[in-house]
Structure 1
Amino acid sequence: MSGGGSNTHQRTCCGGCCTLLISLGFVILIYWAIFQPHQIRATVDYAELSNLTVSNASSSPVTATYHVAFNLSLYNPSKRVNIYYDTLDAELLVRGAVLSPAAAAAASPTEFYQRRRTSQAVRLEFDAGKGVAVPGDVAPQLEAEVKAAAALGLELSVGVRVRYVFGSIKIRQKPRVWCEVSIPVPSSPGGLGVAGSGGPCWVKY
């Protein structure tokens, strides 16, 4: 008899745990359906390029010096959910190759709180005044574009750590923002190339 009572007790405990888990899952599902945070949107409003030089392709490795700044606009389209931006880690790329491994990106502001349906402007600056190595597979194209004073195609990649906040509930996410920007090459070494708008960016969660 004692064995049967023990089995009944175990089944009751298991049934109670299953009911609790199902109820909790249902509550989370309802929350997500009603208050689901919308993905952030991003655009490059302004970009500038200055102090650009690229060493001759015959040298090894090819190096580039530059100063690049972006004004990135981040928009929270959610109706009920606010966002904490904890970190922004940015990289500068050219044709998919990282051009900023030794050039620290400065973000301003570095972290901030964004209310629902508002935009926040972030300035991202890359300074490679001491020179940075250019990947060998893109060095010839980069040198040719600089010599031709053509528009230089750059890519901005920003890893973001965010917390979606609704009341006491917080959901952490790590979206990545990817933007393509074409900036005119300055006509002189000390000149300034400006892109008034880089267009929309892609945000991947």
Structure 2
Amino acid sequence: MAEVKKEEVIDPPPPVKMTTVEEEVHYHHRPWYRRFGRRRRPTGGRPMAPMRALCGIILILLLLAGITVLVLWLVYRPENPRFAVVGVAVFVLNTSSPPVIVTTMQFSLLTRNPNKRVSIYYDHLSAFVTYHNQMITQPAMLPPLFHDKHSTVQLAPILGSGRGVPVSSELSYGLGADQSYGVVALRLVLLGKLRWKAAGITTRRYGVDVTCDMLLRLTKGYVGQVPFVSSPVCDVDT
């Protein structure tokens, strides 16, 4: 009886591990319909999909936040407050002792908030008077002020209070000459901080600079309410 030979079983060779360059070449030569699987980094790290998803979520959140801020700004965008000088009273204005000017003045101011949805807080508000861009009164601090929506508030600060302010001889002479002529140009300045409040949200403090230029019919020795040559003009910068 013939002997049956057993066939030898040969183990398959181990798979050959491709290098990084070979993986890239193999990926780009795959059919297009097989390229949409999850691709790993060439270095063998974590998949790129979670990182891309996280970046996408962050971009969407930033986009939504930007749209929200834009909508709130369009709805609640505040207009600058408006100021107007409606009266000036002079009690003391002495230029006979240069280089010091002694004065006491009271200004009647109307400030209007034109915003229908935004209120205003005024902080650290001070006022002083200048003549030819030089102060003739010391800055006077005004009390904190809350300006409600679409309302008007009247202020009546007294400036100078009889205290002397050092000035140049030329400035004192020029102010005296204008009094002799009967027309004096003065500027009322208000400096401080304001905050906007809308829908329960209060913003940070912003600087506010108010300048009101006026021409007064003011002569030497005059005491009392001073008439205007023309209507004062107030500029507001925030």
Q: Normalising TM by the smaller chain, what interval? A: 0.7 to 0.9
> Which one-letter code corresponds to 1:80 in the other structure?
R
Alignment partners' CA distance in 2, 1:16 and 1:184: 67
Correspondent of 1:98 among 135, 151, 156: 135
Alignment partners' CA distance in 2, 1:165 and 1:71: 26
What is the alpha-carbon root mean square deviation over aligned residues? 2.4
Q: Deviations over 1:67-118 (max 9, x none)?
A: 0111111100111112222231212111112223xx24253xx122222211
Counterpart in 1 of 2:88?
Answer: 47
Counterpart in 2 of 1:168?
Answer: 200
As a proportion of its length, which structure holds more strand? Answer: 1
Q: Any unmatched runs of 5+ in structure 1?
A: none
Correspondent of 1:22 among 41, 63, 71: 63
User: Any conservation in 2 of the 1:54–1:65 contact (CA below 8 Å)?
Assistant: yes
Q: Percent identity?
A: 23
Alignment partners' CA distance in 1, 2:71 and 2:172: 53
Alignment partners' CA distance in 2, 1:133 and 1:159: 21
Residues 14 and 135 of structure 1: CA distance in aligned 2, closer, same or farther (over 3 Å): farther
Higher Rg of the two aligned structures:
2
Higher relative contact order (CA 8 A, sep 6+): 1
Alignment partners' CA distance in 1, 2:91 and 2:173: 20
Correspondent of 1:150 among 177, 182, 185: 182
User: Any conservation in 2 of the 1:186–1:193 contact (CA below 8 Å)?
Assistant: no
User: Any conservation in 1 of the 2:126–2:139 contact (CA below 8 Å)?
Assistant: no
Residues 52 and 76 of structure 1: CA distance in aligned 2, closer, same or farther (over 3 Å): same
Q: Deviations over 1:119-152 (max 9, x none)?
A: 0011222125231111455333112123x06122
Of 125-134 and 20-29, the range deviating more from structure 2: 125-134
User: Any conservation in 1 of the 2:215–2:232 contact (CA below 8 Å)?
Assistant: no
Counterpart in 2 of 1:195?
Answer: 227
User: Any conservation in 2 of the 1:149–1:187 contact (CA below 8 Å)?
Assistant: no
User: Any conservation in 2 of the 1:43–1:74 contact (CA below 8 Å)?
Assistant: yes
Correspondence 1:85 to 2:144: no
Deviation at 1:178, TM superposition (A): 0.8
Counterpart in 1 of 2:20?
Answer: none
Residues 38 and 130 of structure 1: CA distance in aligned 2, closer, same or farther (over 3 Å): closer
User: Any conservation in 1 of the 2:93–2:103 contact (CA below 8 Å)?
Assistant: yes
